[in-house]
Structure 1
């Protein structure tokens, strides 16, 4: 539209200049320039020729700049699309992002977004962009544990929202623990650990030990509680338990919790022998051994061990021993919990 106006104005100017020149001098003239002969034409025509040349040159000038401007707009448009994708990925928790921007206007903000995680307020429902609005809706649905079609977003398996969605699916029973644990690379450690928590409550010993790297303290306690249990019980030798415990990073209080969990169903003789074996090569396990002996009223055996330790070792157990000698009888579990608290 602007080009039409410019052309119309240019033609009007040419006509006015030609008319003015013709009114002043209506003669014709011919001449030679740079070895070229120009025919005999009215002077008014030759006056208008420079205007025609300038008009054509201005059109070429505007065309070049329009083409350059179009390239810039296309580059900005592509960068805008990349920015939208980066914002969506940042909302959905995609880990590695490295969008390359051509325009300076987007480079700074793009680098910042590529290295950020956006957590919008829950009140933000939409912003008018389809991709962003879909991401916001997905975030809400996953948080509310709704069933969603997440595959269309092509997110990596380790994206936080994918992990949460898989946890939701596991909770709803859409995927079972066996399927998750058999494909750890697809589901990741977080989902596998959650699946393992329920798996140890029902699976056989051999099946559980295949996935022992997913043991947490909570799942380990559930596991040992099943030893010799009347319902849904399992059997496992002390040698296997020692091997298992040696692969886990257990600390002082962990041994007490293990012994307390084993007390529910494990045969006392096996429990005593287990902690005796553990304490032979692990000083931290000695606390679990002492707890086991006192819990099973093996006071003399526990006292004998304490008598052969240095003065500053196992102070809590020595305090418990002294209380029993003074006929002050407390449950060992309650005594230790209160002392540690």
Structure 2
């Protein structure tokens, strides 16, 4: 804009000077240039140096205007790159970006390797790109599912995982999609998806994801079956334990034995732990607990006779007290 004004006023000035001189004298002057005589009005000879100065200054100003334009363009591009870096940091997905200026690079190298975690979401920013990200994070933090269009987040990104959890709450059937892709997601998310999946699926469907179970999820399943009055068989529980390759200890087996009391029939409870004790000796205490809970005293005593003297001391003490007429609750001994 300034360059246009300079051109305009320069032309006006040359026109005024030339016009003023021409009104005073219309004489001509001849100047030999490279042996060629050039005859022009005196007014033209006066404004000719002005014109040459104008042309030289015009190119000088145009050159530096172009330099400033390129510099501003570079800063604008760096600004956009910094905004992209902040967006990545807010989404906790930082990545290295390229910067043109040293100043932007000094700032960008920090944000490219950092997370930005807002302490609150009442941030007054005028940049629409940052505003959109902050609003998205606010909604996700408030438990809403947000469609992340054009945003590429890694499967273990905490914001993505929170958004998936929100979606499963709004749309429980989406848990099935998560379970089918559990190799991509952390174990904790898959456990949450499995629990949600249990709420609307039968045991046959649930068993398809037996390999994802751990002791907490198995206990949750048994409790869920009891609360919802669904059906489950001992073969189902055995299958899940085997497919999940659970590393269970004695307390875990006892926990299972306690939970299945209101879910399985007595003979199924006994059958389950008869099979388990053949596979894992750590389940022997739970087998014995089941026998005593079912008042199968003789069978329990026979089993204890096959164990070493220092094993299962608590149950031996329970039977000795029972023989002496002392009827204490079995739960005190497990």
Please report the TM-score for the alignment, with normalisation by the length of structure 1.
0.70
User: What CA deviation, in whole Å up to 9, does each residue of 1:149-171 have, x standing for no partner?
Assistant: 52445454845334333323332
What does 1:62-211 correspond to in 2, within 5 Å? 62-93=61-92, 95=93, 97-122=95-120, 124-146=122-144, 149-152=146-149, 154-156=151-153, 158=155, 159-172=157-170, 174-176=171-173, 179-180=176-177, 184=181, 188=185, 192-211=190-209
CA contact (8 A) 1:259 1:288 kept: yes
Distance in 2 of aligned mates of 1:305 and 1:71: 90
Report the CA distance shift for 1:103/1:270 in structure 2 as closer, same or farther (over 3 A).
Answer: same
The offset of 1:233, in angstroms, is 0.9
User: What CA deviation, in whole Å up to 9, does each residue of 1:222-255 have, x standing for no partner?
Assistant: 33457799931123527x7156335233332322
Match of 1:251 among 224, 248, 252: 248
The offset of 1:176, in angstroms, is 1.9
Please report the TM-score for the alignment, with normalisation by the length of structure 2.
0.71
What does 1:329-340 correspond to in 2, within 5 Å? 330-336=328-334
The offset of 1:279, in angstroms, is 3.1
How much is the aligned-residue C-alpha RMSD, in angstroms? 4.4
CA contact (8 A) 2:179 2:193 kept: no
Long gaps (5+) in structure 1: 17-27, 337-341
Distance in 2 of aligned mates of 1:175 and 1:88: 30
The reply on whether 1:56 has 2:58 as its aligned counterpart is no
The offset of 1:207, in angstroms, is 1.0
CA contact (8 A) 2:172 2:197 kept: no
- What secondary structure is seen at the aligned counterpart in 2 of 1:118? coil
Distance in 2 of aligned mates of 1:330 and 1:103: 81
The offset of 1:216, in angstroms, is 4.0
